[in-house]
């Protein structure tokens, strides 16, 4: 970095003596940025490139990750520079969007908010354990139109083909942008790791390109400063994929352009490219120039017409008459929501709402093929936690409002005493659902998932 940055290096080095920035992104599926600013228990200041993003001053008494608002999915704690990626890709409501390496779900939840619950968001994670962390975060976000997969990029490209309007590859990288806040990232770094990451990124980006429809867009991002993993990867990609070009139509406040000259930096053994000037259209966020830990983003557009891509929609097993009867009884008694019956699907004992326009999954491993509504049990339907977090307060017939202390008690798994009608109740703080309880004779049994309960 001393060689690459030259006169800037000292400022870059000094940035590491500063504490890392703490960012919070508001869930605009549940509230507005303006409304949350009035509600927030923490001081906030805006992030220039993300209308729903704020710098936050942490409270040691009640950290933002331990506030009931976080459990209700009102915000996601995220590095400010990471918020730039989804803003630049800019998926629209109704798009068919793919997040290829989605865990833990920060950028995926941002995509979901920008899509406003319309269209289909496929969130994929290759790691069999991290995919459940992704599922948990999207569940808390109240995402209704997400499909969560656990597959390799190669199998996705083979199964889907070039059908997606927007594809995001937040590539696994050497993590240099994590050094300021992550001891593990510092310990794991080596020059060899940079090289191995670059090779892996080339391979994954090649598969990502197969998934972008003509006229569609592909975002490539990393949280490293290494040009081998950034400009050089994009230079190699452009050489191999003449149908793609870098898009520079959206400016990003506080961002610096890419460094095409680093592709030829002595000793880095970069790939040759015929056109390096366009690499200035990539984006670098630096910790010494702006807020955040640092990111690299390239937005690539595939040439061609923008007519809708034809694909086969998924066909799932329709619920039995008995299953539909149980679900209808639950909804009639406890909800004020109408569900389109033809969008309901039964997977084992789990009942799902399938987002319209979802492509066929073709034998791919689906963790959740849509919004998990609940489980069919002998003689009854039991609602899921995902359903509670996807509802608005006015969509439940019985809502129990909690103050902060009551909400914390509920999140610990405590039983609550509240008078009222027997049956399922939605527990909420300030009108934002936290989860289910079941009231019997004034006592509410706690149905907050045991794996999520606060210790």
Cite the active site residues. Answer: 223
By the 8 A CB rule, do 125 and 364 touch?
no
Structure tokens at 141: 């976000």
- Dihedral (CA of 358, 359, 363, 364) sign: negative
**Alpha carbon distance 431, 415 (integer Å):** 20
**Given the DSSP bridges, would you call strands 75-77 and 146-149 parallel, antiparallel or unpaired?**
unpaired
Which residues make beta-bridge pairs with 120?
96
Question: For residues 197 and 204, is the Cβ–Cβ distance under 8 A?
Answer: no
Helix axes 153-160, 191-209, angle to 10 degrees: 10
Cα 431 to Cα 22, 68, 124, 278, distances in angstroms: 26, 12, 32, 49
Residues with Cβ within 8 Å of residue 162, at least 6 apart in sequence: 210, 211, 212, 213, 214, 216, 302, 309
Distant-in-sequence, close-in-space partners of 148: CB < 8 Å, separation ≥ 6: 123, 124, 125, 131, 134, 135, 138, 366, 367, 368
Q: In angstroms, how far is CA 342 from the centroid of its own chain?
A: 27
Cα 122 → chain centroid? 10
Look-up of token digits 């990124």: 201
| Integer Rg of the chain from CA | 23
Contacts of 337 (CB under 8 A, 6+ apart): 331, 391, 395
**Number of H-type helices and E-type strands within the chain:** 14, 23
Give dist(CA 128, CA 150) in Å, integer.
Answer: 7
CB 204 within 8 A of CB 154: no
Cα separation, 252 vs 227, in Å, equals 20
* Residue 265 near residue 3 (C-beta atoms within 8 A): yes
Nearest to 169 by CA among 251, 257, 229, 245: 229
**Please, which residues bridge with residue 60 across strands?**
none
The two three-digit tokens of residue 256, written as one number = 């610096």
């Amino acid at each position: 970095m001393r060689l690459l940055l030259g006169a800037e290096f000292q400022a870059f080095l000094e940035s590491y003596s500063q504490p890392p920035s703490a960012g919070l992104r508001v869930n605009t599926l549940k509230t507005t940025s303006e409304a949350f600013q009035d509600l927030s228990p923490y001081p906030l200041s805006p992030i220039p490139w993300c209308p729903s993003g704020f710098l936050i001053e942490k409270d040691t008494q009640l950290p933002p990750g331990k506030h009931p608002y976080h459990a209700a999915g009102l915000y996601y704690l995220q590095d400010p520079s990471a918020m730039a990626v989804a803003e630049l890709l800019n998926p629209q409501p109704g798009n068919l969007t793919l997040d290829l390496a989605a865990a833990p779900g920060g950028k995926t939840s941002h995509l979901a908010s920008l899509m406003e619950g319309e269209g289909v968001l496929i969130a994929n994670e290759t790691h069999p354990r991290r995919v459940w962390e992704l599922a948990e975060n999207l569940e808390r976000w109240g995402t209704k139109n997400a499909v969560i997969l656990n597959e390799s990029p190669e199998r996705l490209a083979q199964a889907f083909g070039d059908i997606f309007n927007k594809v995001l590859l937040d590539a696994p990288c050497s993590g240099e942008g994590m050094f300021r806040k992550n001891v593990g990232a510092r310990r794991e770094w080596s020059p060899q790791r940079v090289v191995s990451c670059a090779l892996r990124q080339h391979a994954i980006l090649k598969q990502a390109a197969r998934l972008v429809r003509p006229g569609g867009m592909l975002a490539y991002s990393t949280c490293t400063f290494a040009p081998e993993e950034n400009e050089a990867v994009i230079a190699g990609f452009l050489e191999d994929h003449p149908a793609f070009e870098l898009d520079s139509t959206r400016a990003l406040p506080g961002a610096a352009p890419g460094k095409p000259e680093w592709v030829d930096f002595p000793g880095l053994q970069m790939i040759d490219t015929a056109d390096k000037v366009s690499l200035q259209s990539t984006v670098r966020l630096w910790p010494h120039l702006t807020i955040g830990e640092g990111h690299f983003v390239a937005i690539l557009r595939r040439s061609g017409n923008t007519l809708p891509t034809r694909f086969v929609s998924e066909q799932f097993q329709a619920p039995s008459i008995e299953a539909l009867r149980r679900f209808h009884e639950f909804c009639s008694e406890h909800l004020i929501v109408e569900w389109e019956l033809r969008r309901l699907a039964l997977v084992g004992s789990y009942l799902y709402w399938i987002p319209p326009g979802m492509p066929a999954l073709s034998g791919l491993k689906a963790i959740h093929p849509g919004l998990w509504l609940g489980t069919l049990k002998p003689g009854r339907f039991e609602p899921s936690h995902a359903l509670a977090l996807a509802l608005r307060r006015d969509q439940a017939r019985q809502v129990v409002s909690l103050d902060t202390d009551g909400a914390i008690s509920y999140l610990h798994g405590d039983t609550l005493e509240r008078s009222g009608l027997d049956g399922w109740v939605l527990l909420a703080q300030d009108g934002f659902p936290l989860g289910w309880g079941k009231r019997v004779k004034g006592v509410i049994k706690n149905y907050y998932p045991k794996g999520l309960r606060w210790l």
